[in-house]
Chains A and B, each alone.
Chain A
Amino acid sequence: QLQLQESGPGLVKPSETLSLTCTASGGSVSSSTYYWGWIRQSPGKGLEWIGNTHNSGSTYYNSSLKSRVSISLDTSKNQFSLTLRSVTAADTSVYFCARLPSSRGAFDVWGQGTVVIVSS
Chain B
Amino acid sequence: DIQMTQSPSIVSASVGDRVTITCRASESVDSWLTWYQQKPGKAPNVVIYKVSTLESGVPSRFSGSGSGTEFTLTISSLQPDDFGTYYCQQYRSFPLTFGGGTNVEIK
Contacts and interface: CB of A to CB of B under 8 A. Distances in A.
Interface of A: 37, 46-49, 52, 60-63, 96, 98, 100, 104-108, 110-113
A63 to B, nearest CB: 5
Contacts of A111: 43
B44 A47 contact: yes
Nearest to B91: A105
Given A52-B96, A60-B94, A105-B34, A47 B46 contact: no
Most chain B CB inside 10 Å of its own CB: which residue of A60, A100, A110: A110
Contacts of A48: 98
B49 interface: yes
A50 B91 CA distance: 14
Given A49-B96, A105-B34, 12 more contacts: A46-B99, A47-B38, A47-B101, A48-B98, A49-B98, A52-B96, A105-B91, A106-B34, A106-B49, A106-B50, A107-B44, A111-B43
Interface of B: 1, 32, 34, 36, 38, 42-46, 49-50, 55, 85, 87, 89, 91, 94-101
Main SS at interface, chain B: loop
A63 B87 CA distance: 20
B46 A107 contact: yes
A49 B43 contact: no
Given A105-B32, A105-B91, A106-B89, A49 B46 contact: no
Given A63-B1, A104-B50, A113 B43 contact: yes
